[in-house]
């Protein structure tokens, strides 16, 4: 009897384990490149057409106040993958890689039995074979990726191999390859984890004829203002009428939106949509060349909300059966902790800046438990100062071509340095903290000149009324909180977390 009971309990345990594994959702995380908060139909844009994202916001969980962790791309991507502020790992700005010791969502979900793949823009290191921070080294089983951004007929590296051209509209290409990946894996019983980072709508802009035709009225309407951006013909900087630029930019957004619709239709037809978490956000605010109408202050590159507030939507019919919207402020740093919560995996044993949003997904979160922090580091090291590269520079040389030249190159290289000692000057740079609806913005240069602003985002989302003199107690509290957080970040930057 005891032996029978033992086998019965063992069988129940195995069944329970298999059942729990079978219930794990597929997780697909999508992100646009330079896609700001206002550039969606559901957020009231007068021109741009995003019917798919509009439907996702109307039927899923609409994150009204979703933030990129940084006002530029590479740092936000580092936070997206690790749950940590990018300054902790020396990913200070575009072209700065992550560090090999970082733990990503892909690493975590591998332990839960997921099969994972990355598609599109990587931009936190090179994607080639041998790089210690390519998608494979950072936990993905497969990847079709680019070192940076891309346009029509883009080149991608498959699993680190030599880049080759994939003809077509780039968002459509990435979704086609993602669908192929899902089709291959779905019969295996493994849950799927995929990260798709589109190249759109980052400049230089281009579009398919039908998408461009949707915005044919804009060139005449906005012909007087001229903006600077990259020429598709030369790869150099040029100046063009904003109306022409907006026509192409919005065409890219619409094509990206349509490709997301293709994915949703596939998931429905394949019987996967019910238990698939599908997420979309942008990586920073709208770039200055494409900024037209925004209710928020600032653009890409600024710690005002116009530089960091982005679209955010989640669909997961099995767990979000009815449409909801939330004004609770959330961030790309929350993605890894949320994935840990969904998969039943522990958080990495190191400082994590995000929080688990599963209570929010389930409608049980009334307020955020910790502040949101933003910081543009201004004391980045370089080889001229004697700093030691964190990764062999040869492994940081990019291979995938793009249109925009930088220092005469049509590829992108990366860097990261050891940072063994914290200096008093390391605390400078534009930074902000949001706690509830209160936001403290600090600008400080290397000479010590400080400008501070305090805003109540609930009453003043445009950040036009500085409350610093009216509410000095709140300003001082946030000032202390921000400084303490900076100390933690700089401790991480020295490598203490590893």
Average pLDDT over every residue of 17-28: 69
20 has pLDDT over 90: no
**DSSP assignment of 179-240, as one string?**
HHHHHHHGGGT--EEEEEE--TTPSSP---HHHHHTTTTHHHHT-S-EEEEE-TTTSSEEEE
- Per-residue pLDDT of 50-100, as tens digits, reads 999 999 999 999 999 999 999 999 999 999 999 999 999 999 999 999 999
3 has pLDDT over 60: no
pLDDT above 70 as % of the chain = 95
What's the pLDDT at 442?
Answer: 98
Helix/strand/coil percentages in the chain, nearest 5:
30, 20, 50
- Per-residue pLDDT of 139-156, as tens digits, reads 999 999 999 999 999 999
Query: Which CATH number among 3.40.50.2300, 3.30.465.10, 3.40.720.10, 1.10.1740.10 corresponds to the domain 22-374?
Result: 3.40.720.10
Cα separation, 479 vs 322, whole angstroms? 40
What's the pLDDT at 360?
Answer: 98
Domain boundaries, the chain: 22-374
Q: b/e per residue, 342-376, with b = 16+ CB within 10 A?
A: bbebeebebbbbbbbbbebbeeebeebeebbbbbb
4 has pLDDT over 50: no
241 has pLDDT over 60: yes
CB-based contacts of 129-133 (< 8 A; 24+ apart in sequence): 129/159, 129/160, 129/161, 130/160, 130/395, 131/160, 131/391, 131/395, 131/396, 132/100, 132/391, 132/395, 133/97, 133/98, 133/99, 133/100, 133/391
- Per-residue pLDDT of 443-457, as tens digits, reads 987 777 899 999 999
- Per-residue pLDDT of 30-40, as tens digits, reads 999 999 999 99
What is the reported pTM? 0.95
Average pLDDT over every residue of 245-269: 98
Tell me if 221 sits within 8 A of 243, measured CB to CB. yes
Name the token pair of 247.
Answer: 């026509």
What's the pLDDT at 86?
Answer: 98
């Amino acid at each position: 009897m005891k032996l029978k009971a033992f086998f019965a309990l063992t069988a129940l345990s195995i069944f329970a384990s298999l059942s729990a594994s079978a219930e794990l959702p597929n997780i697909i995380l999508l992100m646009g490149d330079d896609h700001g908060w206002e550039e969606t139909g559901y957020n009231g844009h007068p021109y741009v057409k995003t019917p798919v994202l509009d439907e996702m916001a109307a039927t899923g969980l609409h994150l009204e106040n979703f933030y990129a962790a940084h006002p530029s791309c590479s740092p936000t991507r580092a936070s997206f993958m690790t749950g940590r502020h990018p300054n902790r790992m020396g990913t200070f700005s575009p072209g700065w890689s992550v560090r090999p010791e970082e733990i990503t969502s892909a690493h975590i979900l591998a332990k839960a039995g997921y099969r994972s793949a990355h598609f599109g823009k990587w931009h936190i290191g090179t994607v080639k074979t041998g790089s210690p921070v390519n998608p494979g080294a950072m936990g993905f089983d497969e990847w079709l990726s680019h070192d940076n951004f891309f346009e029509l007929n883009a080149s991608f590296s498959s699993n680190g191999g030599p880049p080759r051209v994939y003809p077509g509209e780039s968002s459509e290409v990435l979704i086609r390859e993602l669908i192929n990946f899902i089709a291959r894996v779905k019969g295996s019983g493994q849950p799927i984890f995929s990260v798709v980072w589109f190249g759109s709508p980052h400049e230089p802009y281009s579009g398919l004829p039908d998408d461009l035709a949707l915005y044919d009225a804009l060139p005449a309407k906005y012909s007087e203002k001229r903006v600077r951006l990259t020429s598709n013909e030369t790869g150099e900087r040029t100046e063009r009428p904003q109306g022409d630029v907006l026509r192409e930019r919005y065409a890219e957004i619409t094509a990206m939106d349509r490709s997301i619709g293709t994915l949703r239709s596939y998931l429905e037809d394949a019987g996967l949509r019910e238990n698939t978490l599908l997420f979309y956000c942008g990586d920073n605010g709208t770039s200055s060349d494409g900024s037209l109408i925004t209710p928020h202050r600032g653009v890409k590159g600024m710690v005002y909300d116009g530089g960091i507030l982005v679209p955010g939507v989640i669909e997961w019919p099995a767990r979000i059966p009815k449409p909801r919207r939330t004004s609770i402020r959330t961030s790309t740093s929350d993605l890894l902790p949320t994935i840990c919560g969904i998969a039943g995996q522990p958080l990495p044993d190191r400082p994590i800046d995000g929080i688990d949003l599963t209570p929010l997904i389930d409608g049980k979160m009334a307020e955020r438990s910790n502040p949101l922090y933003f910081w543009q580091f201004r004391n980045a090291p370089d080889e001229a100062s004697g700093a030691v590269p964190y990764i062999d520079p040869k492994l940081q040389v990019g291979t995938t071509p793009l249109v925009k030249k930088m220092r005469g190159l049509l590829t992108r290289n990366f860097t990261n340095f050891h940072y063994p000692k914290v200096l008093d000057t390391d605390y400078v740079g534009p930074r902000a903290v949001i706690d509830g609806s209160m936001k403290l913005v600090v600008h400080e240069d290397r000479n010590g000149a400080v400008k501070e602003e305090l805003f109540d985002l609930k009453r003043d989302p445009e950040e036009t009324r500085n409350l610093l003199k009216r509410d000095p107690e709140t300003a001082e509290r946030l000032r202390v909180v921000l400084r303490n957080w900076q100390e933690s970040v700089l401790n991480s930057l020295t490598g203490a977390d590893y």
